[in-house]
Chains A and B, each alone.
Chain A
Amino acid sequence: MEGGGFTGYAQGGGYMGGGYEQGGYAGYGAGQGTNPNLNPNQPGGGLHTGQNQPSVSMATDPQNFLAKEAGNILGGNLLGGQLAGSAVKAYGERAQRWATGQSKTLTYYFSVNTKYAGKKLRLLLCPFIHRGSWTRMPEPASLQGAGGFHYKPPRHDLNAPDLYIPLMAWSTWAVVSSWLEASSGKSPGPERFGQIVWSGIFVWAAQVALLRTAMWLLSSQVPLLDLCCYGGYIFVHITAQVLVGIVAGHWGYYAALAWGTLCMGVFLVKTLKRTLYSQTRQASKQHSKRQSYMLLGIAMAQLPLAYWLGKI
């Protein structure tokens, strides 16, 4: 139902292949002065100087208030331009684009619909019965924009990674764990919630680090956000483990743990194999052997991660 003014993703707002959207990293050292002038009485002094965004208050423009203020702070116009190196500025502008949802790189991963979510969850929980192909579908040549090769967004392609499901799975696991702990009397609920959330972030970061290292060792250029998505899918299994553990007790939990890590391993191997193959055209025998071992290693590493989180 994509009619009217909603051009959206039907025409392929693809993703840019990795890297920065902005001009890039031009280095530090472009500051405009040596003494931060903090005295507000002098011209050009005070904390906020330089080219700020026009200041908006919450009353006049509530939609953009927070984003603009965040952009002001991050965009590096503090202290009379001391922090206005172009790298900081680029980060600040990118942060502002990400915060307001204008970044095409980020919105690609969220262009999902309910049908996709349902199918993807079924794929994750039981990848063995999937009949279709595992490769991602590229955009047709007519819709390829400038700046890299584009794939179809998740709502048109089951195999595309998305960030919605990992985020929701992680939050669900955090909520379910907090309920479990509170109801079993181990701890007062609200305080543990923060710690549980941070453990989840830690495991997600460990996953992404693992995947990134593996990809680097295999000299392939998978974008970091893609790896965040793939890594985050483990939370679906962890949530399922915990829920089964509530219902079926100890043995149910361990059975679900085994099943979940098996499924996650299979899913990762199948997805990453296609990704690697699409990147490295020359497939020397030794190279592909290394790839296979690496993928196997990744699959096996899912177990300790899931186990650790489930215990929390």
Chain B
Amino acid sequence: MNGQPNWSDYGQQPPQGAAGQGNLNFVSTSFDPGRAQAQPSYNTNYNNNTATTSFDDEPPLLEELGIDITSIFKKTGAVFSFGSTADGTYDSDLSGPIVFILGLGFSHMLSGKVLFGLIIGWTIITSLGMSWLVNLLVGPGGDIGMYACCSILGYCLVPQIVLSLAYLVIGKSVALSVIAVFAILWSTRVASRFVTVRLKAKHIPVEEQRSLLAYPWLLVFSMFALLSLY
């Protein structure tokens, strides 16, 4: 009864008096389980009675949502850099990828194709498939969850955004095909780099499977490039 939501509570007046004020406990979820644990429950008042939390005690909004801007910039920078990721770790988050997926969709819209649903659907399904495949290839003990795969895919869509913007500027030509090949290989390389970094953090030897781990990403990004070009 204390704060446990009961089906019979909805639609009824919360009982007055000392027994309760109809508190609802919220457990906030964060986008970034690698960094923050689930936040402790906050008391919000059903009846808008006296405030029990002070405004100063609450953490900043972005931290509460689990969006870490510096980390997003760092990972986006890693996409563009030719060396390995800066500090050898990869913590996954989905806020950067969401921005890039929307960016890809918008750049498609600029050339007349509305493909948001396709992009999002393909992202989900291919990350499912990729995480399953990597899980099986690497064997027991190594596992990238679907969350990390989604995150890796999202960050590696940056070259695809570059490609679709190039399609706007250049139009279909041999130069565009060259850019397409370059963008696909670039995405693949970054994705396999992220994957190996993550696996190395779990102390799994990946040396003899590097090409095998990278090849499916090549196929995935070829399909995304197909979206941009046709």
Within 8 A of B (CB), among A1-39: 1-9
The answer to the question of B77 belonging to the interface, with a C-beta cut-off of 8 Å to chain A, is: no
Alpha-carbon separation in the docked complex, A217 to B11 (Å): 66
B143 contacts A101, C-beta separation under 8 Å: yes
Q: A66-B128, A99-B132, A114-B211 are in contact. Are A189 and B230 (CB under 8 A)?
A: yes
A115 contacts B135, C-beta separation under 8 Å: no
B219 contacts A175, C-beta separation under 8 Å: yes
The answer to the question of B33 belonging to the interface, with a C-beta cut-off of 8 Å to chain A, is: yes
A3 partner residues in chain B, CB cutoff 8 A:
205
Within 8 A of A (CB), among B105-140: 115, 118, 128, 132-133, 135-137, 139-140
Alpha-carbon separation in the docked complex, A269 to B159 (Å): 45
The answer to the question of B212 belonging to the interface, with a C-beta cut-off of 8 Å to chain A, is: yes
Alpha-carbon separation in the docked complex, A9 to B135 (Å): 14
B227 contacts A62, C-beta separation under 8 Å: no
Q: A59-B33, A164-B137, A190-B118 are in contact. Are A114 and B212 (CB under 8 A)?
A: yes
Min CB gap B17→A, angstroms? 24
The answer to the question of B55 belonging to the interface, with a C-beta cut-off of 8 Å to chain A, is: no
A168 partner residues in chain B, CB cutoff 8 A:
215-216, 219
A interface residues, how many (CB within 8 angstroms): 48
B226 contacts A178, C-beta separation under 8 Å: yes
Alpha-carbon separation in the docked complex, A102 to B210 (Å): 22
Residue in B closest to A110 when the chains form the complex, CB atoms: B136
Residues of chain A whose beta carbon lies under 8 Å from any beta carbon of chain B: 1-9, 40-41, 57-66, 99-102, 106-107, 110-115, 117, 164, 167-168, 171-172, 175, 178-179, 182-183, 188-190, 193
Residues of chain B whose beta carbon lies under 8 Å from any beta carbon of chain A: 7-8, 29-31, 33, 38, 115, 118, 128, 132-133, 135-137, 139-141, 143, 145-148, 203-205, 207-212, 215-216, 219, 222-223, 226-227, 229-230
**12 residue pairs from A and B, CB less than 8 Å apart:** A4-B205, A9-B139, A60-B33, A60-B38, A64-B145, A100-B135, A101-B143, A179-B226, A182-B226, A182-B229, A189-B226, A193-B226
